[in-house]
A and B are shown apart, each in its own frame.
Chain A
Amino acid sequence: MLRFTVRRLINMVFVLWAVSVLTFLIFMVMPGGGDEQAALRIAGRNANEQQVQTVKREWGLDDPFYVQYADMMKKVFTGDLISYVNQVNVREEIVRGIPRTASLVIGAGIIWLFFGVVFGVLSAVYAGRFTDRALNVLALIGISLPVFWVGLVLLYYLTDRIALFPPGGYTELGEDPVDWAYHLILPWFALSILFIGFYSRVLRSNVLDISNEDYVRTARSKGLSERRVLIRHTLRNALIPIVTLFGLDFGAALGGGAILTESVFGLQGVGQYASDSIGRLDLPPIMGVVLFGAFFIVLLNAIVDILYAFLDPRIRLQ
C-alpha cells in the first residue's frame, strides 16, 4: 500500500509538471503569431502600446521559449501574476474567492453524491417498475439541462416571480451560517442536478450488473437476507468505481460547473473571477485559474486513486 501511494504521488508530480507545460503551450506558444501577438494577448484587448511593451519586458517574450516558461512559472509561484486590464494581482483574487467556491462545490458534491446513490440504488432495486422508469426519466432530463440555464430559470421563478430565495449573492459562513446556506440552496441545486441524474444512472447500471455477478448469486445461496446481500456484497462492489468517478466529477464541477453557477448567481468566487476574465479576454487571470484548477484536480485524482486502492484489495496487493 505504501509503495503504491508513493508511486502514485510521484506520478502526480509528473502530471502536474506536464499540466504546467501544457498551459504554457496553450497560452503562449500555440496560437502562434510570434512575440507581438503573445504580448497583445496577455496585455488584453484594450491595451495601449506602452502596456504591450511592458508585457514584453516582464514576460521575457523576446527570450527563447524555455526561458519564457521559467518566467511564467516563477510568476505563478511567487504570486506575481498581474492582470493588465485592471491592474489586480491574480493570486490575491483567487485566494479571496476560494472559500466561496469551496462552499458551493463541496456542498453540491455532498448533495449529488447522496441523492445520486440513493436514486440509483432505488432504481436498481425496483428495476423495470414504475419507480425505476420515473427516476430514469428524471435522470435523463437532469443530464440534458445546461447548468447555467437551470440557474437562470431558478432565479427567475424562485426569486422574482415568487420571492422564495435571495437573488444571488453570498454571505460568509462565519457571519451567519443560516443565511450562508439560504443563499447557497439554489446554486447547490443548479450545480448538482446534472450530476444527480448522471450518478443515479451509473449507479443503477453498476448495481444491476453486479447483481448478476456470480458472487452475488453465491451470497444469496448462503441464505443471507436481501438487505445484507445488497449492502455487503452488491453495494460494496458497485460503489468502488463511484469513488473514482466522484473524484473526476468533483474536479469537473470545480473547473467547470462552478464557473457557470457562480457567474449566474453572483457568488464572486474563483469561478466568477474566471468567467468575468473570459468575458474581457483577460489572459493572466485565466491562466492563473486554469493552473489553480488543474493542479487541484490532479491532486484530487491522486487522492482518489489511493482511496480506490484502499477499497479494492486486487489493486492494492499486486
Chain B
Amino acid sequence: MATQPATESDFSLDAAAAVAEREGGKQLEGMGPWQLAWRRLKRNRVAMASLAVFFVLVGCCLAAPLYADHIAGRGPTATNATGTIQIDGKKTFVVTPDGTPIGPGLHKQYLLGADPLGRDVMVRLLYGGRNSLFVGFMAAIITAVLAVGLGLAAGYFRGWGDRVITNLFDILWSFPVLLFAIALGTALAIGGLQIGPVNLQGDSLWIPIVIIGVVYVPYFGRPIRGQVLSLREKEFVDAAVAQGMRAPRIMFGEILPNLSSTILVFGTLIIANNILLEAALSFLGAGIQPPEPSWGGLISDGVNQIYTAPHLSLVPGVAIVIAVLSLNVFGDGLRDALDPRAKVRLR
C-alpha cells in the first residue's frame, strides 16, 4: 500500500490535534471532523455575522403581523389612497392627487413609503418576505428530499434505474431553470394542480413551492449521485454488506451521513437560488400570485412608477440582496469549514 508523503494539509490537521491535546490536557485522539469544522466555522467571523444578518431578516419578516398591528397600524392589503399623515408637522397626502405616493422617511407609518393604493410598503415588504422566504425554504426541502432520494437510488443501485434517473435529470436539465419554472408556473396558475388526491388552487402558495422545488432537482441530484457512486466503492460499504445489512439501511445509515456536508453546503446555496428564482417568477407573474405580496411581485408592481416613485421597486430588491448575499457569504464560510482538504489557511 502506498504511503502518502506528508503534505501541508496533513500538517494542519495534525497541528489541530496537537493543540487539542494541549488544551484538554488529556489523551485526546484528536477532534472529529465535525468538531473541527464547527470550530473553524465559529472562527470565521464574517460568516457568522452573515448568518446573524439572515436570521435577523427572517425574524423581522416573521414578526410582520406585530409590526403591522403595533407600528404601522395597517395590514398589507389595507388601502389608503386618499388619506393623509403628519410628516414634520405638516399634513401630507399619502398619495398625491396625480398618483405619486410618498417615499421612505422616519415616520412610523409608511416607514418605507407608500404605493399608489396607499398601502404601507414596509408592511408589504415584511409580509412579502414571509411568503418569499417560506417558499424559498420549503422548496429547498422538496429539492433536497427528491434530489437525495433519487441521487441515492441512482448511485447505489445502478443498472436501468440509474439510467432512467440520469436521463430524467438530463432532460429536465435541458430546460433552463427559469423557463421551466415559467412553463410550470403559467400552466398551473390558471387552473391549479389536480393530480389524484392532490388538489391545489391556482393561487396556492404551494404551487410555486412545488415548482421551484422540482426545477432544481437535477442541479442538486447529479452531484449527489456522483458522490454516492464513489462512496459506494469504499470499503465500509463492503463491510456493511458483509455484515448482512440490507440496502436501505446501508443507504441511509452508512452513505447518507457521508453526504451530509455536501447536503449542507448545497442546501444553503439552493435556498439562496430559490429566493432569486421566486423573485423572478413573481416578477413575471408566474410565481406567487397576487394579492399575496412577495418581493418579486412588489418590484413588478412598482415598475410603472420607476421614475416617479423609485422606492417601490428598489426597496424590495435590497431586501432580496440582503437575504441572498448573507446566505451566500455564510455558504462560503460553511464550505471552507467543512472542506477537509483546506489548503491555504492564513493566520
Contacts and interface: CB of A to CB of B under 8 A. Distances in A.
B285 A147 contact: no
Contacts of B176: 251-252, 254-256, 293-294, 297
A33 B276 CA distance: 31
Nearest to A160: B307
Interface stretch (A17-25, A178-186, A309-317): A17-25
A152 B183 contact: no
A115 B257 CA distance: 39
B148 interface: no
Contact of B184 (A26, A145, A252, A264): A26
B18 interface: no
A143 B324 CA distance: 9
A143 B332 CA distance: 12
Nearest to B316: A149
Range class of the A interface residue count? 35 or more
Contact of B284 (A30, A41, A279): A279
Given A260-B280, A290-B179, A19 B171 contact: yes
How would you classify the secondary structure of chain B's contact residues: helix, strand, loop or mixed? helix
A152 B182 contact: no
A144 B174 contact: no
A45 B186 CA distance: 12
A153 B306 CA distance: 9
Nearest to B286: A278
Given A146-B320, A256-B176, A279 B285 contact: yes
A31 B194 contact: yes
Contact of A283 (B184, B187, B276): B187
Contact of B280 (A26, A147, A293): A147
A146 B175 contact: no
B299 interface: yes
Nearest to B308: A160
B179 A293 contact: yes
A256 B183 contact: no
Given A41-B190, A256-B280, A278-B186, A145 B179 contact: no
Contacts of B329: 140
A141 B325 contact: yes
B177 interface: yes
B284 A278 contact: yes
Interface string A49-73: 0000000000000000000000000
Nearest to A139: B328
How would you classify the secondary structure of chain A's contact residues: helix, strand, loop or mixed? helix
Given A255-B179, A259-B178, A40 B190 contact: yes
A152 B280 contact: no
A257 B187 CA distance: 20
Contacts of A146: 276, 279-280, 283, 296, 299, 317, 320-321
A127 interface: yes
The interface centre, meaning the residue of A26, A33, A152, A259 with most chain B CB atoms within 10 A of its CB, is A152
A152 B187 contact: no
Contacts of B189: 281
A174 interface: no
Interface string B101-120: 00000000000000000000
B39 interface: no
A156 interface: yes
Interface in A202-231: 208, 212
A204 to B, nearest CB: 12
Given A146-B280, A256-B178, A256-B179, A27 B187 contact: yes
Nearest to B302: A152
Interface in A1-59: 15, 18-19, 22-23, 26-27, 30-33, 37, 40-41, 45
Interface of B: 167, 170-172, 174-179, 182-195, 272, 276, 279-280, 283-286, 296, 299, 303, 306-307, 310, 313-314, 316-317, 320-321, 324-325, 328-329, 332, 343-344, 346
Given A22-B171, A256-B179, A259-B178, 7 more contacts: A26-B187, A27-B187, A31-B187, A31-B188, A31-B192, A149-B279, A156-B306
What 4 A-B pairs have minimum CB-CB distances, sorted nearest first?
A256-B178, A255-B176, A149-B317, A32-B194
